[in-house]
Chain A
Amino acid sequence: MKRVLLGVQIAWAFCYGLLALFWWERGWEPTLTTLLVGIAITALRRWRWTASLQLFILLSGAGLGTATGLNPWAMLGLVAFALGAWDIELFVRRLEVFSETDARLWSQHFRVLAWVLALGLGTGALALSLKLSFAFGWALLFAVLFLIAFLLLLRASL
């Protein structure tokens, strides 16, 4: 389990490194900020919520980068990578309190996560490749549908 946790740490470092690398196009300040934020959060690793904070920061960085014209493909990869690291870290933290764990827990989790990431990257890649234009009414309809679907999901889970 410690090895997986170390792998997750490396994955987070890789995410920050990747983000910093792409921000290099905008000068040294955003790069340095990204690296400093990464180091600061890594120092707070004692708490479980830091994983969620890291995901939030990386997603914000990726979103900001995409909005300011950084390579969207790289940012999509970064989001997927960060999501995977976040999920595995929470999973490991869930299991680490137990002295022994079933090997099937790991295999089924990695299998499902692989599906999620493949699907996410696939649909993301498709979305980046296809360019559609539709009227504001359609966009509004999609937004309402998304909101309803999301509320249904939330209700189902609660």
Chain B
Amino acid sequence: MLLGGRRWAFLGLLAFLLILAGWALHRGELLALALPLLCYLALGFYRPLPTIELQAHRLLSARQAARDETVQVALEIQNQHKSAVLEIVTIEEILPYRVSAVTGTTEKIVTLAGGEQALLEYSVSGRRGLLRWPGVRVSVSDTLGLYHQAIELSCASELLIVPAFEKIRALAMKPRRTRIYSGQVKAHLGGPGLEFFGVRDYYPGDPQRYLNWKATARRDRPIINEFEQERVVDVIILLDARERSDVITKGDSLFEHSVEAALALTHYVSVQGNRVGLLIYGNFLNWTWPGYGGRQRERLLRALASAEKGDKAVFEDLERLPTRLLPAGSQLIFVSPLRESDMKTLLDLRLRYEILVVSPDPLAFESRALLQTPEVQLAARIARLQRTALLTHLRRAGVRLLDWDVARPLAPLVAQELGRMALRAAVMRGRR
């Protein structure tokens, strides 16, 4: 668009050529032809842009939204100057890159008199992430387009789009250490609790209602029932965000399912009162320090909602996992489609931590999107055998594992495969 200096130059050049021709040909009439152009420039010169004092203010109908939920955005641009009229103000909203749908208009052209304001209304929705509006692009010009000034008004806003996640009902954990606060994880220690743990001699001060009368009669001294203490534990959620672990099909990504699983698990273990930390491994070491409570849950939610994949060579395998950050004896929950090269690190970690793996099945995910030709079926079968071997190896090493076909709901599978009964069965298998 011919604006500002270009317009001056173009019209000035035309006028100059006419004057030059008139002078060269000794024809005064040619000078007269240049006069409308000169008047255009002269009038523009005496009507320069006034001082630009604009202020932007953005209002979002919600600060946090669910996936595909529509959020209304209202952007107000006010001319702070009392009297200056800004003849043409072009407002262009700079949208965050993760916005997936927009209705309404994000651009507007208006005239702003002194103190007047313009309103831009639209709505956005997205799949997941922390949407950040950096600012507003505004350009001001006079009506003839001879002056043009582009500015960017700072007006930062944030919207957290949280993906939908399932509510997990049961997940049994058996970390090597528990913390001192009472919680919901069995600590293998006698004391106050709900489930019977054993019997011991009665000591003065013990509540008499827990006296085991049969055992007292049998041993001829007071015996008391003991219950298993339930305490909170340290749980670290490890989310595999490596690009190479991901599978992308038409409009869907396995990573998104991993994030949803990590969210569901994080929510469950955090609500249970445990001390939860998060490490997103892929783009960089996105570490959220372990903590308790609602505020920590919010922190974890933000971190997971804005998780990004990465293909850094340094994170090619799990060897760079910063184990010094992980609290000793904590429960690790690794959410990953799993790769052959991860095996060694997982087995090393198993020596120091209890590991629980939720593995979104990349083969089932990918094969659903492929045309089932004989070649594809054969390849899928080979890959399936490899994956089964990998999972079996991990299971034998004592890693509790859920091979999750993402087409099926997660919560019942977790209850079935990683619930209390499954844990008891695993313990029995281990004893045998």
Let me know if B108 and A66 touch, CB within 8 A: no
Residues of A within 8 A of B181 (CB): none
Taking the closest CB of chain B, its distance from the CB of A3, in whole angstroms, is 18
Contact B111–A67 (Cβ < 8 Å): no
A87 to B143, CA, bound (A): 10
- A40 adjacent to chain B (CB < 8 Å): no
- Given A156-B48, A158-B5: A90 and B18 interface contact (C-beta under 8 Å): no
Binds B, one of A6-14, A20-28, A30-38, A51-59: A51-59
Known contacts A52-B10, A127-B28, A128-B29: does B107 contact A97 (CB below 8 Å)?
yes
A72 to B18, CA, bound (A): 13
Known contacts: A52-B2, A108-B111. The answer to whether A157 contacts B146 by CB under 8 A is: yes
Let me know if A143 is at the binding interface, CB within 8 A.
Answer: yes
Most-contacted residue by chain A among B47, B105, B109 (CB, 10 A) = B109
Binary per-residue interface labels of chain A (116-133) against chain B in the complex, 1 for a CB within 8 Å, 0 otherwise = 110111011001100100
Question: CB-nearest residue of chain A relative to B41?
Answer: A153
A117 to B37, CA, bound (A): 9
Contact (A76, B32) CB under 8 Å given A63-B21, A156-B45, A156-B48: yes
A97 CA to B109 CA, complexed, in Å: 9
- Listed residue (A56, A115, A127) with the most chain B CB atoms within 10 angstroms of its CB: A127
* Residue of B14, B16, B48 with most chain A CB atoms under a 10 A cut-off: B14
Q: How large is the interface on A (under 10, 10 to 19, 20 to 34, 35 or more residues)?
A: 35 or more
Q: A139–B28 Cα gap in the complex (Å)? A: 12
Distance of A108 Cα from B145 Cα, bound (Å): 13
Over the window 4-26 of chain B, the binary record of Cβ atoms lying under 8 Å from chain A Cβ atoms (1 yes, 0 no) is: 11001110101011110101010
**Complex formed: what's the CA distance from A100 to B146 in Å?**
23
| B143, A108: Cβ atoms closer than 8 Å | yes
Enumerate chain A residues within 8 angstroms of B1, measured Cβ to Cβ: 48, 90, 93-94
Tell which of B10, B29, B107, B108 touches A72, judged by Cβ atoms closer than 8 Å: B29
Given A90-B145, A112-B43, A124-B32, is A98 in contact with B8 using a C-beta cutoff of 8 Å?
Answer: no
B109 to chain A, nearest CB (A): 5
Q: Do the beta carbons of A116 and B21 come within 8 Å of each other?
A: no
Complex contact A63–B147 (CB within 8 A): no
Q: Taking the nearest CB of chain B, how far is it from the CB of A2, in angstroms?
A: 17
Tell me, in angstroms, the Cα distance from A158 to B28 when the chains sit together: 31
- A116-B43 in contact (CB<8A): yes
Q: Are B143 and A66 in contact (CB-based, < 8 A)?
A: no
User: Which residues of B lie under 8 Å from residue A19 when comparing CB positions?
Assistant: none
Give 1 or 0 for each of A137-157: 1 = CB within 8 Å of chain B CB.
Answer: 001000100100010011011
Q: What is the CA–CA distance of A119 and B35 in the complex, to the nearest angstrom?
A: 9
Which residue of B has the minimal Cβ distance to A115? B43
In the complex, are the beta carbons of A109 and B16 less than 8 A apart? no
A157 touches B32 (CB 8 A): no
In the complex the two chains form, what is the Cα distance from A104 to B2 in whole Å?
22
A123 vs B30: C-alpha distance when bound (angstroms): 13
- Residues of chain B contacted by A119 (CB below 8 angstroms): 39, 42-43
The smallest beta-carbon distance between B312 and chain A, in angstroms, is 40
A121 / chain B contacts, CB cutoff of 8 Å: 36
Q: Is B31 in the interface zone, CB < 8 Å from A?
A: yes
Shortest C-beta distance, A155 to chain B (Å), equals 9
A83 touches B145 (CB 8 A): no
Within 8 A of A (CB), among B142-158: 143-147
Q: From residue 69 to 99 of chain A, which have CB atoms closer than 8 A to chain B?
A: 72, 75-76, 79-80, 83, 87, 90-91, 93-95, 97-99
- Cβ of A87: which chain B residues have Cβ within 8 Å of it? 40, 144
B107 touches A105 (CB 8 A): no
Could you tell me if B21 and A72 are in contact, using CB atoms closer than 8 angstroms? no
**B15: shortest Cβ distance to chain A, in Å?**
8
* Cβ contacts under 8 Å, B325 to chain A: none
| B87 at the A interface (CB under 8 A) | yes
A136–B43 Cα distance when bound, in Å, is: 29
Q: Which residue of A lies closest to B105 (CB)?
A: A99
CB-CB < 8 A to B108: which residues of A?
98, 100
A112 and B47 alpha carbons, distance in the complex (Å): 10
Is B23 a contact of A143 with CB atoms below 8 Å?
A: yes
Q: Which residues from B are CB-within-8-Å of A15?
A: none
Check B8–A154 contact: CB distance below 8 A: yes
The one of A101, A105, A120, A156 that contacts B40, using a Cβ cutoff of 8 Å: A120
Contacts of B23 in A (CB 8 A): 139, 143
Task: Give A105's nearest chain B residue, CB to CB.
Answer: B111
Instruction: Report if A67-B30 is in contact (Cβ < 8 Å); known contacts: A109-B143, A150-B12, A154-B8.
Output: yes
Q: Which of A48, A98, A120, A128 has the most CB of B within 10 A?
A: A120
Other 13 A-B pairs with CB < 8 A, given A119-B43, A153-B41? A48-B1, A63-B21, A72-B32, A87-B144, A102-B109, A105-B87, A108-B143, A112-B47, A120-B35, A120-B39, A123-B39, A127-B31, A158-B4
Closest 5 CB pairs of A and B: A120-B36, A72-B29, A127-B32, A120-B39, A124-B35
A residues engaging B (CB < 8 A)? Answer: 48-49, 52, 55-56, 59, 62-63, 66-67, 72, 75-76, 79-80, 83, 87, 90-91, 93-95, 97-102, 104-105, 108-109, 112-113, 115-117, 119-121, 123-124, 127-128, 131, 139, 143, 146, 150, 153-154, 156-158
A-B contact pairs, 9 of them (CB 8 A): A49-B2, A80-B36, A93-B1, A101-B109, A109-B143, A117-B36, A146-B19, A154-B9, A156-B48
